[in-house]
């Protein structure tokens, strides 16, 4: 994969503006940390690992822009970055890891850069390991269903769920992918199909509600999704619409895999009941992509994520191996 979702150049973070895909490949150059916060909130950069990396780079840029920077200031910036999106644990993890390496007795700007670059490189390597571990579960000729986008656009490497698919391709396996459109912001339609198309993967776009039909017909061999936070008991949060897929997979006896790095596991929370679910603006549903599709004034409930119970998960594919679920 040659997609560079984000890259630190001097004291500027260069990202692909994912709100412009697939129509345009546009890069944003962010040279202050509050623009990085805005990019995370607007989903210009998205995906749990990627926003963690972006936040770590936000600390680098903040440190480089302020003379006589101290740890108290960095802590303040870190809290602002962590507040950008509440569900993805990688965001908090990356900021806390970077802050933990800083002290007033050190060169804060230099240390922040060192840790951020290390987080980015580590994620690249984690994705490769997840890809290898997950590919061992996939046979030549299999068909995979995925939801939302958990590929190069969502990480610092080849991706988690899509990383498995890319690794299968590298191994010479002929596989087919069905990608849910993933309403309401169509990350599957706009991003996953674009990514897979760039790599020459056989991908077919479906509406979210088509998955059950394909499963009933026996056309799906595996479901593979990413995760934004995994609780101690294995319950996990992922893009809204994931839980119904897990229920359908269970009903049709189809393996359901969660692909995620160790940094997505949050042992500080016992179960999915403790995961804070981000709610998005009503306009993303009623006026998506600048076209009104619902009456003025209609009430809207728009959670960005749902929680899937651990007993619906066949296995967790991580950088450290495959851990069997239910």
Would you tell me how many other CB atoms lie within 10 Å of the CB of residue 174? 11
Active-site residue 290, yes or no? Answer: no
Which 3 state secondary structure label does DSSP give 301? Answer: coil
Give the β-pairing of 305-308 and 265-266. unpaired
Of 92, 45, 7, the C-alpha closest to 263 is 92
Q: Map residue 64 onto helix, strand or coil.
A: helix
Q: Which helix (H) or strand (E) holds 213?
A: helix 211-216
Is the previous residue joined to 184 through a cis bond, with omega within 30 degrees of 0? yes
Rounded CA-CA distance 212/244 in Å is: 9
Q: Which contiguous run of DSSP H or E holds residue 37?
A: helix 33-42
Residue 158: closest CA among 189, 201, 190: 201
Tokens of 294: 């619902």
Cβ–Cβ under 8 Å, residues 72 and 82: no
Strands 321-324 and 315-318: antiparallel
H or E stretch covering 258 = strand 256-259
Exactly one of 208, 228, 266, 319 is catalytic; which is it? 228
Helix (H, G, I), strand (E, B) or coil at 76: helix
CA distances from 202 to 76, 142, 160, 206, 245 (A): 46, 11, 18, 13, 21
Radius of gyration of the chain (CA): 19
172: left (phi over 0), alpha (psi -120 to 50) or beta: left
| Residues known to be catalytic | 228
């Amino acid at each position: 994969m040659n997609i560079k979702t984000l890259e630190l150049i001097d004291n500027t973070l260069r990202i692909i503006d994912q709100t412009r895909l697939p129509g345009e490949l546009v890069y944003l150059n962010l040279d202050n940390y509050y623009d990085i916060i805005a990019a995370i909130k607007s989903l210009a950069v998205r995906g749990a690992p990627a926003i963690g990396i972006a936040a770590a780079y936000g600390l680098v840029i903040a440190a480089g822009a302020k003379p006589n920077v101290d740890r108290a200031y960095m802590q303040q910036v870190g809290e602002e970055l962590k507040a950008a999106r509440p569900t993805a644990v990688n965001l908090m993890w990356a900021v806390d890891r970077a802050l933990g390496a800083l002290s007033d007795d050190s060169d804060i700007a230099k240390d922040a850069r060192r840790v951020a670059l290390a987080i980015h490189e580590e994620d690249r390597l984690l994705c490769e390991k997840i890809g290898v571990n997950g590919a061992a579960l996939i046979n030549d000729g299999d068909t995979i269903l995925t939801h939302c986008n958990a590929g190069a656009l969502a990480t610092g490497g080849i991706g988690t769920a899509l990383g498995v698919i890319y690794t299968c391709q590298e191994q010479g396996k002929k596989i087919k992918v069905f990608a849910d459109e993933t309403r309401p912001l169509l990350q599957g339609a706009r991003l996953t199909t674009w990514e897979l198309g760039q790599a020459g993967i056989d991908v077919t776009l479906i509406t979210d509600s088509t998955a059950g039909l394909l499963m009933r017909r026996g056309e799906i061999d595996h479901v593979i999704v990413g995760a934004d936070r995994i609780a101690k008991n294995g319950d996990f949060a992922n893009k809204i619409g994931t839980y119904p897929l897990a229920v359908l997979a269970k009903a049709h006896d189809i393996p359901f895999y969660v692909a995620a790095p160790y940094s997505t596991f949050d042992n500080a929370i016992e179960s999915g009941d403790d995961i804070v679910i981000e709610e998005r603006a009503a306009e993303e549903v009623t006026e998506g992509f600048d076209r009104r599709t619902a009456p003025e004034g209609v009430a809207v409930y728009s959670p960005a994520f749902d929680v899937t119970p651990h007993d619906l998960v066949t296995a967790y594919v991580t950088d450290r191996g495959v851990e069997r679920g239910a």
